[in-house]
Amino acid sequence: MTVKRQILVSEVGPRDGLQSINTIMPTASKLQWIAWEHACGVREIEVGSFVSPKVLPQMADTAEVVRGAKKLPNLTIAVLVPNRHGCEAAIQAGADKISIPLSVSETHSIKNVRRTHAQMLDEIKQCMTLIEQCSSTNRPHFEVGLSTAFGCTIEGIVPEHNVIELAKKVLDLGVAEVGLSDTTGMGNPAQLERLVTGIWAQCGSERLTGVHLHNTRGQGLANVLRALDLGISTIDSSLGGLGGCPFAPGASGNIVTEDLVFLLESMGYDTGIDASKLIEVRNRVEKLLPSEAWFGFTSAAGLPLGWTQ
Ligand code: ZN
């Protein structure tokens, strides 16, 4: 019997999805959603973001969500933080994985978090100091997500050498890992390959293992395929493609978790996720957010007759 290659599907809906919509989901519903996906076999969920509630009131209860989700066994609870202050709150709440976004487009960084690259690198250093102070048994995994790595809505083309140089700068600080984010959905598979192999050649393949791709221009799963062929092992996605800042009406942002799981499982990868249960969860969560745009083909078409995992 051949052993299937395991791929970690990291669900980002409760953070990336909910922060992009105006509806504020009650804490109990967020925890329900997280527990439902956990019951399908999802083992990593980005549950929220430690940002100012003035900026994103949708994320105001993140500490409570982290504490509630911690009751679920074998679940990596990931959160996003914009700065040292957020990192401190994330550590206090007990997050397992902390990501800080660093926009390769400096214009985007200034607009998004009001900080230049130099200021962000300093912020990252301060986060690392906080994390190093945690006891070794309670130390969260820390990652820097390189956003706008495939293009920027303000600057346009983001030169690939800028992405690779910035990744090297971050990793030289001692950060364990960087991730690549196609924030604007401008990426293509050839570009993804050049960026991944470029960073690997400079910094080592163990320092970049995950990608965050968008489907804004319909390239999401094509990019996933190239990432898989290269050996990337963690793929972010959002239930029903919720969120991810779509730029055009009817266009989705994040890639759809149900479609991703169907792709991976039908190709023979092991996600540990029950696709049929996941579609039921999508339908339940969709009912909790009926006024939002929901995406995905697999939930509409259904799993093929005789589908087994
Ligand atoms: Zn996204």
134 flagged as catalytic: no
d(CA 21, CA 89): 23
Span from the CA of 136 to the centroid of ligand 1 (angstroms)? 30
Cβ contacts of residue 200 below 8 Å, gap of 6+?
A: 207, 208
Number of other residues whose CB lies within 10 A of the CB of residue 82: 21
What pLDDT is recorded for position 246?
Answer: 65
Residue ranges with CB less than 5 Å from ion ligand 1: 16, 244, 254
What pLDDT is recorded for position 171?
Answer: 97
Span from the CA of 44 to the centroid of ligand 1 (angstroms)? 15
Which of 127, 134, 152, 245 is an active site residue? Answer: 245
* Token code pair at residue 30: 């967020």
Cβ contacts of residue 229 below 8 Å, gap of 6+?
A: none
What pLDDT is recorded for position 244?
Answer: 78
Closest listed residue to residue 199, CA positions, set 232, 163, 230 = 163
Query: 294: left (phi > 0), else alpha (psi -120 to 50), else beta?
Result: beta
Q: Tokens 């397992």 correspond to what residue?
A: 96
E-assigned strands of 15-106? 44-49, 76-80, 97-103
Cβ contacts of residue 73 below 8 Å, gap of 6+?
A: none
Span from the CA of 135 to the centroid of ligand 1 (angstroms)? 31
Span from the CA of 255 to the centroid of ligand 1 (angstroms)? 8
What pLDDT is recorded for position 201?
Answer: 98
Span from the CA of 133 to the centroid of ligand 1 (angstroms)? 30
What pLDDT is recorded for position 167?
Answer: 98
Span from the CA of 266 to the centroid of ligand 1 (angstroms)? 24
> What is the value of pTM for the model shown?
0.96
Residue-level pLDDT, tens digit, the chain, 309 residues: 678 999 999 999 999 999 999 899 999 999 999 999 999 999 999 999 999 999 999 999 999 999 999 999 999 999 999 999 999 999 999 999 999 999 999 999 998 888 999 999 999 999 999 999 999 999 999 999 999 999 998 899 999 999 999 999 999 999 999 999 999 999 999 999 999 999 999 999 999 999 999 999 999 999 999 999 999 999 999 999 998 776 666 667 999 999 999 999 999 999 999 999 999 999 999 999 999 999 999 999 999 999 998
Span from the CA of 144 to the centroid of ligand 1 (angstroms)? 14
Burial (CB count within 10 angstroms: exposed 0-12, middle 13-18, buried 19+), residue 263: buried
